[in-house]
Chains A and B, each alone.
Chain A
Amino acid sequence: MKRVSIVDFGAGNLLSVLRAFKHLDAVIDLASTPEAVERSDRLVLPGVGAFGACIEGLEERGLVEPVKSFAATGRPFLGICVGMQMLFEQSEEFGNHAGLGLIPGRVERIPPTGAGGRPHKVPHIGWNALHKPPGADWQGTPLEPLPEMTSVYFVHSFAARPANPSHRLAECDYNGVALLAATQRDNICGCQFHPEKSGAAGLSLLARFLELAA
């Protein structure tokens, strides 16, 4: 049986992530205390809604340092949506908020226009295809089972911009603007899209995450 812990700080997509892992027959622990985070084999950090509110949710439960310590153990770690954005140093959503700082970079508002200068809709909602940025390698990451150009479900108004291009694991194209779709630094992976809402492709990503050696 594959074990996974989901950080429980009141995130809106907690139950969706839980249901997806249940469907994959995982043994699931909801980690709402520092001890529960520390003893995890694999950790998932969910999150939807406002960045600042999510960080506060972690702070109120004293989970910021335990999550950072977990990341340093080298065990598999997956951030989803705002859970991914929180991996970075800072977000500009509703004022500036500090993130966990596990991956250098910032979270910024999606530009209001596409590459041609034509206005487009924000939030970016819907299914979009995953591209591999130059040099990105999905081997050994949760994205490994996905063919390039697989479509997954996005809903976001802000996007992360890693300081180091080698941390760009996947991108999607929004009217000519390349938005970060997934990031990886060592054992830490993050998806801007929602694997728990991306049908079979998303489930296979989560299944792969469960197979990563703890």
Chain B
Amino acid sequence: MSNLRLIARLDVKGQHLIKGIQLEGVRKVGDPHDFAVRYYQEGADEILYMDAVASLYDRDMLLKIVERTAQDVFIPITVGGGIRSLDDALTLLRAGADKVAVNSAATLNPGLIGEIAGKFGSQCMVLQIDAKQKPTGGWEAYRDCGREHTGLDAVAWAIEGARLGAGEILLTSVDREGTRRGFDIDLIRTISDAVSIPVIASGGMGKIEHLFDAVLTAHADAVAMAHVLHYNQLSLSDVRKAAQTQGLSVRTLAQEMILV
């Protein structure tokens, strides 16, 4: 596989970086731009912004945050939350996003996946799946920040999304999000083994061992981290060193180049 990607996930609401629990119960953490710049300088492989509200007013705030960030951060930036059309995607890409993550609108209109991939390339189209365990086993994909049922089986939806042209899957366990109890390993493994596109594990990282599980047991190609970074429980360089010690392949940073 390619190098494991270490992604800093920043959920934003209005002009604030927030951290929720199971996508609800929100606390303000700080200025998203400043956090993103810090993570870039500390060696994040990518930045992921997720707009938690996505109202029209907040949309302008989000665009401003993306614009400011893209001027200072020279690694890939993915933006998700509230993307309903090709135009929404274009606006974010113009503002400085490299990829867009689409969830709700794609579950309602799967054709949007192919439209975005066809216009901007599959590399740009990240299918965001927020999955919850079903009482009967398996997982269901949820939309609207984990609040609404879609009736879609998460695994079947991942396979269909890849077929329609998604270039990556951002897979969040709603059950684990913000709990720091670790990723939903069965979920990530099932989907990662079912699709040939990369899968980003998200939701639940509380300590470094959780990352090892996500990669070694669940075959994730990338790991999104939020809480552990925002609250300084782990730094990106701790994560990178620990991953290397564990024998995981991650990118090496040339020390002398970090501050160019």
- List A residues at the B interface (Cβ < 8 Å): 12-13, 15-16, 19-20, 22-23, 48-50, 112, 119-129, 147, 149-151, 153-157, 174-175, 194, 196-204, 207
Select which of B3, B40, B196 is within 8 A of A199 by beta carbon: B40
Tell whether A126 pairs with B121 under 8 Å between CB atoms, given A197-B74, A197-B75.
Answer: no
- Whether the pair B74, A126 counts as a contact (CB closer than 8 A) is no
- A interface, over-half SS: mixed
**Are B251 and A151 touching (Cβ within 8 A)?**
yes
Given contacts A48-B121, A125-B168, A157-B122, whether A200 and B259 have CB atoms under 8 Å apart is: yes
B76 near A12: Cβ-Cβ < 8 Å: no
Bound: A156/B124 CA distance, A? 11
* Interchain CB contact (< 8 A) of A153 among B76, B252, B257, B260: B76
Chain A minimum-CB-distance residue to B4 = A126
**Whole-angstrom CA separation of A19 from B93 in the bound complex:** 13
CB of A120 within 8 A of CB of B76, answer: no
Rounded to whole Å, the gap between the CB of B122 and the closest CB of chain A is 7
Given A12-B120, A19-B70, A196-B74, answer yes or no on A123-B94 (Cβ-Cβ < 8 Å): no
B198 to A127, Cβ gap below 8 A? no
B21 within 8 A of A: no
Closest Cβ–Cβ distance, residue A202 to chain B (whole Å): 6
**Please, which residues of chain B bring their CB within 8 A of the CB of A174?**
2
Q: Which residues of B contact A15 (CB under 8 A)?
A: 70, 94, 96
Q: Is the CB of B123 within 8 A of A48?
A: yes
Interface size of B by CB at 8 A reads 40
Residue pairs across A and B with Cβ atoms less than 8 A apart, 23 shown, are: A12-B93, A12-B124, A19-B71, A20-B74, A48-B124, A121-B1, A121-B2, A121-B196, A125-B2, A125-B168, A125-B221, A126-B4, A127-B5, A127-B251, A128-B251, A151-B253, A197-B76, A197-B98, A199-B75, A200-B260, A203-B260, A204-B257, A204-B260
Q: In the complex, which of the residues B94, B221, B252, B254 contacts A126, with contact meaning CB atoms closer than 8 Å? A: B221
* Interface pairs A-B: 3 shortest CB-CB: A49-B121, A151-B251, A127-B251
User: Known interface pairs A122-B196, A125-B168, A126-B222. Does A203 touch B122 (Cβ–Cβ under 8 Å)?
Assistant: no
Using CB atoms, name the residue of chain A closest to B97: A16
- Asked if B45 is at the interface (CB within 8 A of a chain A CB), the reply is yes
Q: Cβ of B197 < 8 Å from any Cβ of A?
A: yes
Q: How far is the CB of B8 from chain A (nearest CB, A)?
A: 13
Residues of A within 8 A of B121 (CB): 12, 48-50
Alpha-carbon gap, A44 to B111, bound state (A): 34
A residues near B2, Cβ cutoff 8 Å: 121, 124-128, 154, 174
Quick check: B196 and A127 within 8 Å, CB to CB? no
**B56 on the A face (CB < 8 A):** no
Q: Which residue of A lies closest to B93 (CB)?
A: A12
Specify which chain A residues have a CB less than 8 angstroms from the CB of B98 in the assembled complex: 13, 16, 197
Interface string of B34-46 (1 = CB under 8 A from A): 0000001001010
Q: Judge whether B167 is part of the interface by a CB distance below 8 angstroms.
A: yes
Partner of B70, one of A16, A122, A175: A16
- Assembly CA distance A63 to B93 (angstroms): 24
Q: Are A119 and B196 in contact (CB under 8 A)?
A: yes
Residues of A within 8 A of B122 (CB): 123, 157
Measured CB to CB, the nearest residue on chain A to B124 is: A12
Contacts of B64-85 to chain A: CB distance below 8 A: 70-72, 74-76
Q: Which residues of A contact B119 (CB under 8 A)?
A: 49
Chain A hits for B253, CB < 8 A: 151
Residues of B within 8 A of A149 (CB): 252
Across-interface contacts of B198 in A (CB, < 8 A): 121, 123, 125-126
Closest to B221 in A: A121
Residues of A within 8 A of B96 (CB): 15-16, 19
Beta-carbon contacts under 8 Å, B226-241 to A: none
